[in-house]
Amino acid sequence: MQAQELKEFVIEVLENLKARDISVVDVSDRTSVTDFMIIASGTSNRHVRSLAEEVVTSAKARGIRAPGVEGGANSDWVLVDMGDVVVHVMLPATREFYDIERFWRDAPAPGAVREDYFGNE
């Protein structure tokens, strides 16, 4: 499955389980590790876990491997690494605190020189 198709598949799974505030960040021009980050909120620790588990279960049913899952039963943040797509499911407070959408949107493209970093550009 291509990255774009995988992204759409994950969004559909998350929407079906009532994930909130689903956001997609295209990071393909910022890293070679993945193409898309999908960030979604759950309403409770249980909902966060259920969303992540459903992404993994639905992917396996379609023959898609999810080689890495980080976070656990009582976690407020679960990460599902699907290669071309990385899924972050979080509680709203955790999502607000880490603000990974802003981090990745503001990250410079590889090879870009940032004036504020070197102070002399």
Is 121 a member of any domain? no
Which domain range does residue 89 map to?
3-106
Q: How far is CA 95 from CA 6, 8, 32, 119, in A?
A: 23, 21, 24, 31
Number of domains in the chain: 1
Is 118 a member of any domain? no
**β-pairing verdict for 20-26 and 36-41:** antiparallel
Is 113 a member of any domain? no
Helix, strand, coil share (%) of the chain residues, nearest 5: 40, 20, 35
Query: What is the tens place of the pLDDT at every residue in 87-104?
Result: 999 999 999 999 988 877
Query: What is the tens place of the pLDDT at every residue in 1-57?
Result: 698 999 999 999 999 999 999 999 888 888 788 889 999 999 999 999 999 999 999
Is 117 a member of any domain? no
Is 27 a member of any domain? yes
Is 95 a member of any domain? yes
Q: The whole model's pTM is what?
A: 0.84
Q: What is the CATH number of the domain that holds 88?
A: 3.30.460.10
